[in-house]
Amino acid sequence: MTVPQDGEQHTQVLQRTRKIDMCALIPRDALAQVAPVLEVNNPGPSSCSAALTVSTTMMTSIGLDWGADVSGTPRPGDSPELTYSPDGTTIGTNRQTCLAFGSFPAGASLWLTVQAPQDTEPCAVAKKLLPGAVRRWMAEPPQGSSADTKPSKLLGMDPCEIATRLGAQPSQAPAQPGSLWRCAFRYRDHDVSVAYDYGQEKVMAQDGTVVQTGSRTIYHSNLPLGPADWSYEAAVGPTTGTPTPMAWLGSYVPVVKVVAESDDSGEVGADLMRQTLALFP
């Protein structure tokens, strides 16, 4: 991916990044070179996670999460830049973490988080896995290349499609971290966003109030940003697989999330959710 020169080329970077299969970047055979693989999960359309068994007697494991993001800040150069940051964070009394990045000149990046027991250096694990993952990224393996990437209605979709259909202009502001599968625009004189992700319905049910719209179950709630900021979430397809032993809140489902700011009545967000759900018959 080359450095984008305008908004259209930046959009192309987003589209190409969304098409890359994250689970294919660190396949099971690469993970097995670190430790035996306990499980691999696909918790998001551009993210993957794994648990590696360190000791079966002590029931300790290495946890890994990785995925794609966009910073919106292209940088000079032709080669990806790899960085490793041991943050010193401990989880409980016996875990430590390392955050690693492979940053590309076009503004996209591959992030990798490693959580490990105190007797395992997490950044050493990251340094063993990240270079190979970056090399595989540059080959752009398509979604579905890995058997651990589950079929989903979201794959191949563009979160800005609804903006185009409604005659709205997606925001040209620099992309913020976490915006790879999110589109911000103005709708009915409100700042709104549409995001695609995977979620667990048990979590959505805990956090939101149920609104039944035909055969669709929508969960809506106020955001902590302000009393007039509304969030709507709805599942738009079947589960992405059987729950793994670590997924105690159940299987992941493809989810559409709509946020409407300064929406006193909640009507703008509800209307946008209805319009977006029409893309998923």
Do residues 21 and 39 make contact, with C-beta atoms less than 8 angstroms apart? no
pLDDT tens, position by position, for the chain (281 residues)? 556 555 677 788 889 999 999 999 999 999 999 999 999 999 899 999 999 988 765 568 899 999 999 876 666 667 888 999 875 555 555 678 999 999 888 889 999 999 998 888 999 999 999 999 999 999 999 999 999 998 899 998 999 999 999 999 988 665 666 689 999 999 999 999 999 999 887 788 776 788 877 788 888 876 655 555 778 999 998 776 655 555 566 678 899 999 988 777 678 988 999 999 999 98
- What is 7-138's CATH number? 3.40.1000
Distance of CA 42 to the CA centre of its chain: 10
The CATH class for the domain spanning 161-277 reads alpha beta
Domain assignments of the chain as residue spans, ordered by start: 7-138, 161-277
Task: Please provide residue 10's backbone torsions phi and psi, each rounded to the nearest 5 degrees.
Answer: -65, -40
Instruction: Give the pTM.
Output: 0.86
Host H or E run for residue 93:
none
Same CATH topology for 7-138 and 161-277?
yes
In this structure, the number of other CB atoms found within 10 A of the CB of residue 213 comes to 13
In this structure, the number of other CB atoms found within 10 A of the CB of residue 4 comes to 19
Do residues 42 and 48 make contact, with C-beta atoms less than 8 angstroms apart? yes
